Structure 1
Amino acid sequence: MKRFTSFILALLLVQSTTLFAQDYKLPAYQKFTLPNGLTIYLMEQREVPMISVSAILPAGAIYDGDKAGLASLTAVALKHGTRSYPKAKLDEELDFIGASINTYSTKEAARLSAEFASKDREKVLGIIKELLTAPVFDTAEFSKEKNRVLVRLNQAKESPRAVIGSYFDKLIYGDHVYGNVVAGTPTTVAALTAKDAQQFYHNNYIPNGSAIAVAGDFNSKEMKALLTKLFAGWKKGSQPEANLAARPISKPNENRVLLVNKDDAKETTFYIGAPGVSRNNPDFVSISVINTLFGGRFTSMLNDELRVNTGLTYGANSSFSPLKNGGSFVISTFTASKTTEPAIDKALEVLKTLHEKGIDEQALASAKNYVKGQFPPRYETSGQLAGLLTDMFWFKFDESYINNFQKNVDGLTLDKARQIINTYFPKDKLQFVLVGKAADIKKIAEKYGKVTEVQISAEPPKKAF
């Protein structure tokens, strides 16, 4: 009886999750643009007395030029203090009211996220306004942060999984700005100064091309007035390199292998990949469903073969990393040095099986249910919703992604799935990055394509391979 009751409860949970996914629609929101070009989103969520803020600005690593790591350090340095809030006072004020503000940079953009009690909205929004419009870039604090970054960069070379992404991006994107290393290198970071950050801020932290989303417990009319008052004076800027990432990305015309030698390695960490898709690709939902089956969940084809059936690794997965003007696809895992060849062969075999045999109706139905069940919880909190709104702004997709999600998932047929596989999942011209002991695996690497060997270093390569 107990087992039967548990089964019924589990069944009801699955049904309720599916119904939630079917009914889920993006909550109502307002969108307006100030004369200086700043786009603002407002979404009332009155259930909890909290407010979340997400801001996005055209100030990512693609604008670093020859100063890799500058965008990242600049974003962090915003919290080193403002005209009205020196760092000690800023930290004290936020700590006293239990508010959090984080600033960071990605490849394409700088981001700010914040969460605080709705009763403190005027104070915290005032602080956010100062962080975005009046940072001081304190020299002493910048130097401390730079030293922390240098320590992390030098430690990272001891962990293949910490550095392989940078090598892969350089192999995939070449000299395109998407190949820029977000964290920088020890050489470039060591040369950076607070003045560099201040100049980068002046060039890139501008209202036009930026967006702020506020979600939570507030009155939209009052919030609109407050934000207009705070940000209307932010001067519009010019950014001549705004379309820097829009230039074409060269696609590989053959299999290539980048072998990153780590003499003391006892295992091989490897990526197998290819160019991917941009975030606003109309097939994004269908791609996500197929990738869920292939390598996006624990019971995926990749993990079943490489972990469960053969024991070659503790886990294997695949993912698409979409950007505004492109992206990448990658199969990733690690294995003992002696099983490097069978692990790579097995990963390639699974990819070949996907193309030759495709998927069946039962597997497709399973993936659909999984994806629909995972979807609503991603957009439950005010912080998640604020982040979604700035993503919509940056990647240029609209609420139909949310509102039609169920329909798009259910509409994926076996015929469409075959088209998705053939179009977006690579079958040739694969790009391999292997991090391991070259003496043990170089002959193996040569089996998969033309090999370029480099030494693992805290200095990722500056030039394309």
Structure 2
Amino acid sequence: MSSNSISTIAIPNLHRLVFENGITLIIVENQAADIISGRFFLKNAGTIVEKPEQAGVSQLVSAVITKGTKNLSALEIADKIESIGAGLGADTSTDYFSLSLKTVSADFPPMLKLLGEIMRSPTFPESEVELERKLTLQGIRSQKEQPFNVAFDQLRQQMYPNHPYGVSVLGTETSVANLSRADLQQYHQTYFRPDNLVISLSGRITKEQATDLISQVFGDWQKPNQPCPPVQITSPIPNPSQAEIIQDTQQSIVMLGYLGTKVNLQDYPVLKLISTYLGNGLSSRLFVELREKRGLAYDVSAFFPTRLDTAPFITYMGTAPTNTEIAIEGLSKEVERLTKETLTEEELQGAKNKLLGQYALGKQTNGEIAQTFGWYETLGLGVEFDQTFQATIPPITPERAKEVANRYLSQPYVSLVKPEA
């Protein structure tokens, strides 16, 4: 299997190649430890491609795909992995499906062969599908007993009606109960194909070694004649609302949600910086003002995840039931402050230092490195986004932050979970 190397990447020891059958291979040569970590991403997969009636199929595939192949039983697969202390697993997210692999370098070739067999010829045994379906249903029911998850699920439904982001990655009780082995097989047949695969490796391996090994395992995998189905969704339109659920709980959960932006748009890094300033850590604005100074919060934070489509910008607080209305007011005012007042250079610089410092710390292990570069490639950003994202943070001005806050953070969706009065 021949490949084309793309050498426009100015990152030391990083290589990106595209094979004839469409596989994209990223290699980061890191000789520091005798370990190789791999991430195997399937683009145009994950929950973003699920129909409402099949919500949760990606998660169920990830739970069952390692439980049997044409040649190996679940027990035999587990024995091969555990006998050498390796790690091999599958996972799904909103925007992709992935498998992971971690071994010492000497064991990487046989483990890669095993992973290739799992990816290409899983059998999805009926008994394993039924077991994992029951476990998933238990997980969904368990989440309904946790106030934070209840509030977040309600907020998702408010913000993303008729959109895959509006449903938990686990799916719903109704959809999961109706999933069949045939649904898993159809998902696998549709999205597991070489031209939909991004392989990201980091560790004690050279470009030549990686290319040869991937060729041996995946070289005869032919891409289908028909193209991979495109992601077909309509981005949500802002329509703020307030909803509440009465639950037997000792605290109230208050969540404010705002429709943010996609990862490939220019306002994305600014919203990342704002969320860091507002709710990241013990020095964040929300923690200092609402917990330390006013004693309102058991827990308070903000987050803005990276998404292929429009991502939610969320602030939340856990508080005493008697403080529910004050909590809503406090959260709202702190976000509203960003739209009315211009942050000082010192405030913004502190957030920049925190964001870039945590970003750097998130790429210390081979697994984290493989995840970062493979994820960016999977989202269509390219591995160079690792550098371009970091370069966009220092030039952000207080005026720019205020402008972006006004664009996105004016009208919140409100989700409440509280006990009876």
Using structure 2 for the length normalisation, give the TM-score.
0.92
Q: What is residue 413 of structure 1 aligned with on the other side?
A: 397
2:96 aligned residue (105, 109, 112):
109
Q: Kindly state the Cα deviation for residue 136 of structure 1 after the two structures are TM-superposed.
A: 0.9
Q: What is residue 5 of structure 2 aligned with on the other side?
A: none
2:235/2:310 contact within 8 Å kept: no
Q: Kindly state the Cα deviation for residue 93 of structure 1 after the two structures are TM-superposed.
A: 0.9
Take 1:407 and 1:92, find their aligned partners in 2: how far apart are those partners? Answer: 45
Question: What are the superposed Cα offsets for residues 35-82 of structure 1, whole Å, 9 maximum, x if unpaired?
Answer: 222211112111111100011113212333212211110121111111
2:212 aligned residue (217, 225, 242):
225
Alignment of 1:241-280 (within 5 A): 241-245=229-233, 247-252=234-239, 255-262=240-247, 264-280=248-264
Q: Would you say 1:159 and 2:146 are equivalent positions?
A: yes
Q: Kindly state the Cα deviation for residue 421 of structure 1 after the two structures are TM-superposed.
A: 2.4
1:201 aligned residue (175, 178, 188):
188
> Structure 1 counterpart of 2:278, which letter?
F
Q: Kindly state the Cα deviation for residue 360 of structure 1 after the two structures are TM-superposed.
A: 0.8
Take 1:178 and 1:370, find their aligned partners in 2: how far apart are those partners? Answer: 28
> Structure 1 counterpart of 2:117, which letter?
E
2:302/2:316 contact within 8 Å kept: yes
1:327 aligned residue (298, 311, 322):
311
Question: What are the superposed Cα offsets for residues 265-317 of structure 1, whole Å, 9 maximum, x if unpaired?
Answer: 23221210111111223343333222221222221111112211111112211
> Structure 2 counterpart of 1:209, which letter?
N
Structure-2 change in CA distance of 1:336 and 1:145 (3 Å)? same
Moved more, 56-65 or 66-75: 56-65
1:26/1:402 contact within 8 Å kept: no
1:32 aligned residue (1, 9, 17):
17
> Structure 2 counterpart of 1:411, which letter?
P
Structure-2 change in CA distance of 1:343 and 1:199 (3 Å)? same
Q: What is residue 33 of structure 2 aligned with on the other side?
A: 48
Take 1:172 and 1:321, find their aligned partners in 2: how far apart are those partners? Answer: 15
Moved more, 78-87 or 279-288: 279-288
Take 1:243 and 1:87, find their aligned partners in 2: how far apart are those partners? Answer: 32
Q: What is residue 122 of structure 1 aligned with on the other side?
A: 109
> Structure 2 counterpart of 1:280, which letter?
N
1:433 aligned residue (400, 415, 418):
415
Alignment of 1:315-464 (within 5 A): 315-404=299-388, 407-424=391-408, 426-428=409-411, 430-437=412-419, 439-440=420-421
Alignment of 1:61-76 (within 5 A): 61-65=47-51, 66-76=53-63
> Structure 2 counterpart of 1:432, which letter?
V
Secondary structure at the counterpart of residue 97 of structure 1: coil
Take 2:336 and 2:238, find their aligned partners in 1: how far apart are those partners? Answer: 21
Take 2:235 and 2:129, find their aligned partners in 1: how far apart are those partners? Answer: 35
Take 1:49 and 1:410, find their aligned partners in 2: how far apart are those partners? Answer: 35
Figure out how many residues of one structure are paired with residues of the other and give that number: 409
> Structure 2 counterpart of 1:35, which letter?
E
Secondary structure at the counterpart of residue 147 of structure 1: helix
Q: Kindly state the Cα deviation for residue 403 of structure 1 after the two structures are TM-superposed.
A: 2.9
2:37/2:102 contact within 8 Å kept: yes
Secondary structure at the counterpart of residue 298 of structure 2: coil
1:277/1:320 contact within 8 Å kept: no
> Structure 2 counterpart of 1:48, which letter?
A
Q: Would you say 1:59 and 2:42 are equivalent positions?
A: no
1:143 aligned residue (97, 107, 130):
130
Take 1:94 and 1:314, find their aligned partners in 2: how far apart are those partners? Answer: 42
> Structure 2 counterpart of 1:206, which letter?
R
Q: Kindly state the Cα deviation for residue 406 of structure 1 after the two structures are TM-superposed.
A: 5.2
Secondary structure at the counterpart of residue 17 of structure 2: strand
Structure-2 change in CA distance of 1:258 and 1:207 (3 Å)? farther
Q: What is residue 174 of structure 1 aligned with on the other side?
A: 161
Structure-2 change in CA distance of 1:74 and 1:338 (3 Å)? same
Question: What are the superposed Cα offsets for residues 384-416 of structure 1, whole Å, 9 maximum, x if unpaired?
Answer: 111111111122224444335554332222232
> Structure 1 counterpart of 2:172, which letter?
T
Structure-2 change in CA distance of 1:225 and 1:279 (3 Å)? same
Structure-2 change in CA distance of 1:142 and 1:406 (3 Å)? closer
Take 2:384 and 2:223, find their aligned partners in 1: how far apart are those partners? Answer: 31
Q: Kindly state the Cα deviation for residue 86 of structure 1 after the two structures are TM-superposed.
A: 1.2
Question: What are the superposed Cα offsets for residues 113-149 of structure 1, whole Å, 9 maximum, x if unpaired?
Answer: 1111100111110011011111110111221111111
1:132/1:205 contact within 8 Å kept: yes
Q: What is residue 311 of structure 1 aligned with on the other side?
A: 295
1:318/1:329 contact within 8 Å kept: yes
Take 1:114 and 1:411, find their aligned partners in 2: how far apart are those partners? Answer: 38
Take 2:353 and 2:164, find their aligned partners in 1: how far apart are those partners? Answer: 38
Structure-2 change in CA distance of 1:111 and 1:268 (3 Å)? same
Q: Kindly state the Cα deviation for residue 240 of structure 1 after the two structures are TM-superposed.
A: 6.0
Secondary structure at the counterpart of residue 103 of structure 1: strand
Moved more, 229-238 or 142-151: 229-238
Q: Pairwise CA RMSD of aligned residues? A: 1.9
Take 1:68 and 1:323, find their aligned partners in 2: how far apart are those partners? Answer: 18
Q: Kindly state the Cα deviation for residue 239 of structure 1 after the two structures are TM-superposed.
A: 5.6
1:206/1:236 contact within 8 Å kept: yes
Secondary structure at the counterpart of residue 346 of structure 1: helix
Using structure 1 for the length normalisation, give the TM-score.
0.83
Take 1:377 and 1:203, find their aligned partners in 2: how far apart are those partners? Answer: 36
**Which structure: larger Rg?**
1
Q: Kindly state the Cα deviation for residue 370 of structure 1 after the two structures are TM-superposed.
A: 2.0
Q: Would you say 1:92 and 2:74 are equivalent positions?
A: no
Question: What are the superposed Cα offsets for residues 220-245 of structure 1, whole Å, 9 maximum, x if unpaired?
Answer: 11220120221122232446642223
> Structure 1 counterpart of 2:416, which letter?
L
Take 1:111 and 1:398, find their aligned partners in 2: how far apart are those partners? Answer: 17
